Structure 1
Amino acid sequence: MKNQLLLKSAGTMLVRILFAVVAAFPIVFMLVSSLKPDQQIFGDMSSLAAFLPVGNISFDNYAAVFDRVPAARFLLNSVGVSAVTVILGIFVNSLCAFALSRMQVRGKKIVFTAILATLIVPFQTLALPLVWWVNQLPYFELNGFSLEFSKGWLDTYQVQIIPFIANAFSIYLFHQYFESIPKELDEAARIDGAGWFKIYRQVVMPLSGPATATVAILTFLPAWNSYLWPLMVVQSEELRPVMIGIQYFFQLNVSWGEVMAYASLITVRWWSSSSPSSVHSSTASPPAA
């Protein structure tokens, strides 16, 4: 019986390793191709050499990426926009979920149902009306010692952040997790004189590390991969995120080695931003007060 369990476990592990290797093939191909010239990329396509760093290997494609596009600026923009969206998204969505879960407010079930109903509406149907709305919003800019007023958020950083802070699915995740936390803790905190915000900050959120980490990852992914919305509302090159930069490589002469190098930079930067160590602070819950 024990041998059968060991064989079954070994077989399951081998199947998992096989699927992992198959899933890694595109990433390996991308990383290896980023080190090769275009002629060698196409020449190696018919053999396993396509997945091996053999032949004329160099970092010329990476140097060409920074010569062709302001890749560092695009990466910095995406990191900044994604980080701010995640931080504000966690705060706003958790506050909304806390109010709907812990506070006795009349009509909160109707509000929660209306929030969930927005999940069935695809973003593509809202994109054009949203462009019109953000173009009507007031914009204040500090010019020296004077505050200047204008209308329209197009071609700004906030137009890439603010429309995506509130998220129905994030509210739902926080709400469901908050429901699993005993409400007796709230009553004990209120007896000690704590207000609702103190209960949220020192009781509920420190116990919600897994939900916070999940929301952080699910918010970061679409913010980092955003393409359609920045393409519609951002015209200045210095404000564009990293995904818009990919279209630069398909103008005039396409260099697939440079495309692979740029994609590798995006992937490595994304992995470093969304790795478990980057969300450690979110999952590490301090003791509740």
Structure 2
Amino acid sequence: MSTATSDAQSVAPVSAASRLAALRPVAEAVVGYGLLLFAAFATMAPFLWMVSTSFKTDPEVFRFPPSFVPQGLVWQNYLDVINAPDTGRQLINSLIFALGSTASNLAFCSLAGYALARMQFRGKTLVFALVVGLLMVPAQSQIVPVFLIVQKIPFAGGNDWLGNGGTGLLNTYWGMILPTAATPFGIFLMRQFFTRIPIEYEESARLDGARPFTIFWRILLPLARPAMAVLGVLSFQSAWNEFIWPLILTNSRDMATLQIGLQLLQSGPDARWNVVMAMATLITMPIIVVFLFAQRYVIDGAVTSGVKG
């Protein structure tokens, strides 16, 4: 009898411990997913509030306590933005700036990254060190020097060969695009990706008589589609959301971008915040579309390129 009792007492703690061990992964999963859901909500809450406010009426915007869900969908706020006299021009300016900056980054950064990764030349290590060093220089500290360079470009905007007498590239599309035509991050990204491509591809093409640019254009660049997609998305996003540089460079409403138009719309005591949020929502949509479109190509390029990440 005593033996059976002792066996039962020894089995009970073991069973409890096994149950706790079985519940531990479930508890960890619940905590982990809970933290992820909280982080996702904290990230999406400002965007959802912006979209919600864009559908509210004027009195509903200032109602206290505020309501997260609008009482109705007021599409007139979006029509007011679309029918504004400067919106079309601002959209064209933003597209020219963003697409020009993206295309130039893809071209120049890929060429510079290929040269730093594959070609041998004197001062290569120093050049790469300068590129890495520029990553640590704040962009705000470069605004004044870049502005003076753009203003003093010879033979542009009425300047003489010394860069005096005119306005240079101020208040022009070239003035907006050229300072963002190549970025240190883009060069670093492409260089790091090219170094991970097996050298056998290049050696095989060189044995067939291919020149360096042919190897770059026909072999390495198709393999670099994932990096090109990432660089394109980041370049477009950076130029599309840029506010300070177009504001400083331009001095007319005809050259204003959507970001400047958003600032003009919310300035003054009579600003309609539901219309402001509607414009902010419309400005955000192209970034989301570009990201979703490029995400498929990033995955497809990583699968079909034959290069392990």
The TM-score range, normalised by the shorter chain, is 0.7 to 0.9
Instruction: Give 3-state SS (helix, strand or coil) of 1:52's partner.
Output: coil
Q: Which residue is equivalent to 2:95?
A: 79
Shift of 1:124: 2.1
Give the structure with the larger strand fraction.
1
Q: Is the 8 A contact 1:34 1:61 kept in 2?
A: yes
| Mapped pair 1:113 → 2:113 | no
Alignment pair present for 1:9 and 2:26 = no
Q: CA deviation at 1:6?
A: 4.7
C-alpha separation between the residues in 1 aligned to 2:300 and 2:178? 27
1:147 corresponding residue in structure 2: none
Q: 2:68 aligns with which of 37, 51, 74?
A: 51
- Paired residue type of 1:93: C
Which amino acid in structure 1 is aligned with residue 117 of structure 2? S
Relative to structure 1, the CA distance from residue 21 to residue 175 in structure 2 (aligned partners, 3 Å threshold; closer, same or farther) is same
How far apart are the structure 2 equivalents of 1:282 and 1:22?
27
Gaps of 5+ in 2: 1-20, 159-165
Letter in 1 for 2:274: G
1:32: how far off?
1.3
Shift of 1:27: 1.3
Residue 13 of structure 1 aligns to which amino acid in structure 2? Answer: Y
Distance 2:142 2:284 in 1: 29
Q: If you compute each CA radius of gyration, which structure gives the higher value, 1 or 2?
A: 2
Q: List alignment gaps of at least 5 residues for structure 1.
A: 142-149
Would the alpha carbon gap of residues 153 and 283 (structure 1) be closer, same or farther in structure 2, given more than 3 Å must change? Answer: farther
Q: TM-score, normalised by structure 1?
A: 0.86
Aligned to 1:245: 261
* Residues 2/202 of structure 1: CA separation in 2 closer, same or farther (3 Å cut): farther
Residue 172 of structure 1 is matched in structure 2 by 188
Letter aligned with residue 268 of structure 1: M
State the alpha-carbon separation in 1 of the partners of residues 133 and 42 from structure 2.
38
Moved over 6 A (4+): none
Q: Which is worse superposed, 22-31 or 71-80?
A: 71-80
- Structure-1 separation of matches of 2:25 and 2:220: 42
- Three-state SS of the structure 1 residue aligned to 2:240 is helix
Q: 1:262 aligns with which of 267, 274, 279?
A: 279
Aligned to 1:25: 45
1:223 maps to amino acid: A
> How much identity, in percent, do the aligned residues show?
30
1:82-102: CA deviation from partner (whole Å, max 9, x where unpaired): 122112101101101111110
Change (3 A) 1:10 1:17: same
From 230, 237, 244, the counterpart of 1:228: 244
Distance across 1 between alignment mates of 2:65 and 2:79? 27
CA–CA separation in structure 2 for the residues paired with 1:231 and 1:31: 26
Structure 1 contact 209–283 (Cα < 8 Å) conserved = no
- Pair 1:98-2:117 in alignment: no
Alpha-carbon deviation of 1:10?
4.3
1:177–1:208 CA contact under 8 A, matched in 2 = yes
**Equivalent position amino acid for 1:17 in 2:** L
Residues 93-102 or 118-127, more deviating:
118-127
Q: Quick check: 1:123 aligned with 2:143? A: no
Q: Deviations over 1:148-196 (max 9, x none)?
A: xx76111111111111111111111111111111212211110011110
Residue 213 (str. 1) matches residue 232 (str. 2): no
Once residues 98 and 198 of structure 1 are traced to their aligned partners in structure 2, the CA distance between those partners, rounded to angstroms, is: 12
CA contact (8 A) 1:213 1:283 kept: no
Q: Match of 2:278, as an amino acid? A: A
TM-score by length of 2: 0.81
CA deviation after TM superposition for structure 1 residue 22, in Å: 2.6
